[in-house]
Amino acid sequence: MNAIKYFFPLSVLTGSLLLMGCSNNSSEEKKTENSKTGPQIVTVTKKSAADIDLTLFTVRMKLLAGTLAAPAKVLPNQDFEAQVGSLVQGRVHQIFVKVGDVVTAGQTLMTVEGLDVGTMKAGFLIAKASYEYAKSNYERQQKLFDDNIGSQKSLLESRAEYDKALAEYHAEDKRIHSVGLTDEDVTREKKNDEHTSGTLPIKSRMNGVVVERNVIVGQYVDAATNAFKVINTNSVWIDGQIYEKDLSKVQQKTNAVFTTTSYPDLTFTGRIISIGQIVDEQSRTITVRGEFNNAHHRLKPNMFGELNIPVGTGTHALLIPEEAVVQDAGEHYVFVQTSDTTFEKRTVMTGTSVDSLIEIKEGLKENDRIVSRGAFYLKSDLKKEELAGE
């Protein structure tokens, strides 16, 4: 008996195989998709939990407030800092102070001798004398006119001379004041001596301490020479360096506390006055500046310490340890305990971090038990399971 042979077209056979393959692939994709969208559970034994020192944390509502510690440096307050020099060309005649001396506003630090100084003083004295004469003559003519003795023409002429002398006197007065002289400086000198000297007193513009002296007797000086630097440390600036990731936590015009090893038992309170606008390319930090009262002069410029800045909103929020949050490809999640040995991966939305704690805005509720220490190991196990499933 001859065997019956069946012949199938090759195209039909190939199509059937492709349909079977697609059916199998579709089933696998659906299985994988279901596994990803469903809960992701990690199971550990009690021995494994002990080996990795797995620690649990109960989620609680806490006050969202803390401090941010930043390395800091004391600086002079530039509002209480002055460069002192001569606006007139000349040579240093005498110097009366040295570095470290305490000076007061108006105190003479040195004298400068120059031809221009004598000319300015003489010009002021001449203008002053002319003004006083013109004023006296105008007042006399005014009295004569009021008594019907003097003429109106004489009165008007005296008034014109008076106005001219007054304008010249005001101009010379402003000129001597612009270089640091006062009316009393010139008139007192004239009373004590028959001639006007060519020396100019250079005075401190503020109360403070001399921290720089850049001149010697006989040195030529002009308007570009900074002879002395005077600072007043009743108020100082303290610059702290914070990382750019902490920038959003700091609010301007908030209080701050400065501590230094120079005074381990003391704290200094001030306020934040500015937050820098530039990130340092090397350290990736931003400068936060505080202003501090320093009436006792304990804080010295260039002293190092720590600037403690309050952060947080002052409201209650769900706070958990930062180490409990796993970051993976832009996703933030934690492991929530579902039984003694099983833990569920749960995506969360984070907020402000304060003192090693981080705010959870979504994904958890109060009294949830999460893994605070050991989350990294659970993440590794979860990855192994995903790879094995694939």
Q: Which two tokens stand for residue 139?
A: 């007042």
Q: Which two tokens stand for residue 157?
A: 């002429």
Q: Which two tokens stand for residue 373?
A: 């220490």
Contacts of 188-194 with C-beta under 8 Å, sequence gap 24+, read 189/121, 190/125
- The mean predicted confidence, pLDDT, of the chain is 85
Q: What is the mean pLDDT of residues 40-50?
A: 85
Which range (2-11, 87-96, 330-339) has the least confidence? 2-11
Asked if 271 and 291 touch (Cβ cutoff 8 Å), the reply is yes
| Phi, psi of 235, deg, nearest 5 | -135, 135
In the predicted structure, residue 9 carries a pLDDT above the cut 90: no
In the predicted structure, residue 18 carries a pLDDT above the cut 50: no
Q: Which residues, listed in sequence order, are joined to residue 94 by a DSSP beta bridge?
A: 111
Model confidence over 193-231: pLDDT tens digits?
554 567 889 999 999 999 999 999 999 999 999 999 999
How far apart, in whole angstroms, are the C-alpha atoms of residue 251 and residue 149? 78
Q: Which residues, listed in sequence order, are joined to residue 343 by a DSSP beta bridge?
A: 42, 337
When pLDDT is cut at 50, 70 and 90, the band that residue 335 belongs to is very high
Asked if 161 and 134 touch (Cβ cutoff 8 Å), the reply is yes
Residue 158 identity: S
When pLDDT is cut at 50, 70 and 90, the band that residue 341 belongs to is confident
Asked if 67 and 356 touch (Cβ cutoff 8 Å), the reply is no
Q: What is the pLDDT of residue 213?
A: 97
Model confidence over 88-126: pLDDT tens digits?
899 999 999 999 999 999 999 999 998 888 888 888 889
Q: What is the pLDDT of residue 140?
A: 92
Helix (H, G, I), strand (E, B) or coil at 239: strand
Helix (H, G, I), strand (E, B) or coil at 190: helix
Q: What is the pLDDT of residue 47?
A: 85
Reference 127, options 75, 187, 38; nearest CA is: 187
Reference 304, options 71, 67, 78, 76; nearest CA is: 71
How far apart, in whole angstroms, are the C-alpha atoms of residue 254 and residue 304? 21
Half-sphere exposure of 92 (CA within 13 A, CB side): 20
Q: Kindly report the length of the chain.
A: 390
Q: Which residues of 68-92 are buried (b: 16+ CB within 10 A; e: fewer)?
A: bebebbbbbbeebbbebbbebebeb
Taking the chain, what is the end-to-end CA distance rounded to the nearest angstrom? 52
Q: What is the pLDDT of residue 377?
A: 87
Q: Which residues, listed in sequence order, are joined to residue 321 by a DSSP beta bridge?
A: 357
How far apart, in whole angstroms, are the C-alpha atoms of residue 319 and residue 314? 13
Q: What is the pLDDT of residue 7?
A: 37
When pLDDT is cut at 50, 70 and 90, the band that residue 20 belongs to is very low
Reference 250, options 223, 271, 225, 228; nearest CA is: 271
Whole-model pTM? 0.61
Q: What is the mean pLDDT of residues 176-204?
A: 74
Q: What is the DSSP string of 16-37?
A: HHHHHHHHHHHHHHHHHHHHHH
Model confidence over 225-250: pLDDT tens digits?
999 999 999 999 999 999 988 888 88
Better-scored residue on pLDDT, 117 or 304 = 304
In the predicted structure, residue 33 carries a pLDDT above the cut 60: no
Asked if 173 and 121 touch (Cβ cutoff 8 Å), the reply is no
In the predicted structure, residue 280 carries a pLDDT above the cut 90: yes
Domains in the chain: ranges and CATH: 40-64+315-389 (2.40.420.20), 67-78+232-311 (2.40.30.170), 116-197 (1.10.287)
How far apart, in whole angstroms, are the C-alpha atoms of residue 335 and residue 49? 13
How far apart, in whole angstroms, are the C-alpha atoms of residue 199 and residue 341? 92
148: Cβ contacts below 8 Å, ≥ 6 apart: none
Q: What percent of the chain has pLDDT over 70?
A: 86
